[in-house]
């Protein structure tokens, strides 16, 4: 049985519509709402550099005089951004709608608009690349540095979800993430030692990166991914690799402890000399600093 076809309403925004250029002074905002100044400034900058991505929606005004006026249905931010930029006209979709329908259209558009996550934006970069856009063109469209785009594309193409998430959170440098993605397990260990020695990774950050790499190796590059049963079979080669990995990890810990011990000795020596200076002791008393950490005091007294 054929179902009855309901005619679409004349103000249905989802259908193809003719876009008209309408003078800004012919458009009235009947129910203006306050906006976050920072968000609005970002919108103005975005439209200025990239252009208007979507026309606003208006409806003919019921006011008799003057004629040719329109009332804004949705797109107040875009309309005000064009006014701020000194434009005279703006692309519009003209619909015929009653007052109740105008509110409905505005509500539907606001509900449909959602905040994109960083992951959505990153995968949009990959889509642009797959469609043939160059790194330079993507950089212009997204206002991102070309070096950053190249590195992100490397991670995206290799499915490095764990590394991308760590980069987004800000505690894994992008350069380290791309080096890990391109390297074998042995090369990753060497890169970690190098990053520690050069100061790129320090303290707790080094521990977090170490854990991330271990999870990536055990659970895979993507979240929810698990190793197959065949990969979990214990072999002499795997035991040897595990042993070598643990040896390298302990070497890093020993090197770290040696460096910390040297720094502590420097601090103890410096504090011992300062405390022997009467002027420095008077300065501490005048600043009402009568004590120090007990562990440091014990170390200074023990070496003195």
**What are the strands of the beta sheet with 19-23, ordered from one edge?**
19-23, 89-94, 56-60, 70-74, 27-28
> What φ, ψ does residue 288 adopt, rounded to 5°?
60, 50
Domain count, the chain: 2
Does 290 fall in a domain? yes
Does 98 fall in a domain? yes
Chosen domain end from 112, 129, 156: 112
Helix locations, 70-117, DSSP H: 76-84, 99-112
Per the CB < 8 A criterion, the answer to whether 105 and 83 are in contact is no
Q: Tens of pLDDT along the chain (304 residues)? A: 343 343 444 444 444 567 889 999 999 887 777 777 888 888 898 898 888 888 998 888 877 777 889 988 888 889 999 999 999 999 998 888 777 676 666 666 665 555 556 666 777 788 888 888 888 888 887 777 888 888 888 888 877 777 877 777 777 777 777 877 777 777 776 777 777 667 776 777 777 777 777 777 776 666 554 444 445 566 777 777 777 888 888 888 888 888 888 888 888 888 888 888 888 888 888 888 888 888 778 888 875 4
CATH number for 32: 3.90.1530.10
Query: Which pLDDT value is given to residue 109?
Result: 63
Does 270 fall in a domain? yes
Chosen domain end from 112, 142, 163: 112
Which residues form the domain of 265? 236-303
Does 184 fall in a domain? no
Chosen domain end from 77, 97, 112: 112
Does 70 fall in a domain? yes
d(CA 266, CA 270): 6
> At what angle are helices 146-157 and 161-169 packed, to 10 degrees?
140
Counting other chains too, the contacts that 265-273 makes at CB distance below 8 Å and 24 or more residues apart are 267/296, 268/296, 268/299, 268/300, 268/303, 271/296, 271/300, 272/300, 272/303, 272/304
Going by their DSSP bridges, the two strands 27-28 and 70-74 should be labelled as: parallel
3-state helix, strand, coil in the chain (%, to 5): 60, 10, 30
Does 178 fall in a domain? no
Per the CB < 8 A criterion, the answer to whether 70 and 94 are in contact is yes
Tokens describing residue 238: 């795997």
């Amino acid at each position: 049985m054929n179902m009855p076809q309901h005619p679409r309403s004349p103000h249905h925004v989802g259908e193809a519509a003719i876009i008209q250029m309408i003078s800004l002074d012919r458009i009235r905002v009947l129910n203006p709402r306050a906006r976050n100044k920072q968000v609005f400034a970002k919108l103005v900058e975005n439209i200025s550099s990239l252009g208007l991505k979507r026309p606003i929606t208006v409806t003919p005004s019921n006011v008799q005089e003057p004629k040719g006026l329109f009332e804004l249905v949705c797109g107040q931010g875009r309309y005000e951004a064009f006014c701020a930029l000194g434009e005279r006209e703006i692309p519009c979709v003209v619909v015929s709608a009653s007052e109740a329908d105008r509110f409905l259209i505005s509500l539907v558009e606001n509900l449909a608009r959602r905040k994109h996550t960083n992951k959505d934006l990153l995968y949009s970069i990959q889509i642009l690349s797959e469609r043939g856009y160059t790194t330079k063109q993507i950089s212009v469209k997204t206002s991102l540095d070309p070096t950053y785009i190249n590195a992100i594309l490397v991670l995206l193409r290799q499915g490095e979800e764990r590394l991308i998430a760590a980069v987004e959170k800000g505690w894994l440098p992008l350069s380290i993430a791309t080096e890990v993605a391109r390297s074998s397990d042995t090369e990753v260990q060497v890169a970690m030692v190098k990053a520690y020695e050069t100061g790129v990774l320090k303290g707790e950050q080094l521990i977090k990166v170490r854990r991330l790499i271990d999870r990536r190796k055990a659970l895979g590059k993507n979240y929810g991914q698990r190793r197959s049963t065949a990969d979990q079979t214990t072999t002499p080669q795997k035991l040897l690799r595990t042993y070598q990995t643990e040896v390298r990890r302990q070497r890093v810990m020993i090197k770290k402890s040696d460096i910390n011990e040297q720094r502590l000795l420097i601090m103890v020596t410096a504090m011992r000399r300062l405390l022997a200076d009467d002027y420095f002791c008077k300065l501490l008393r005048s600043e009402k600093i009568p004590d120090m950490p007990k562990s440091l005091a014990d170390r200074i007294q023990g070496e003195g």
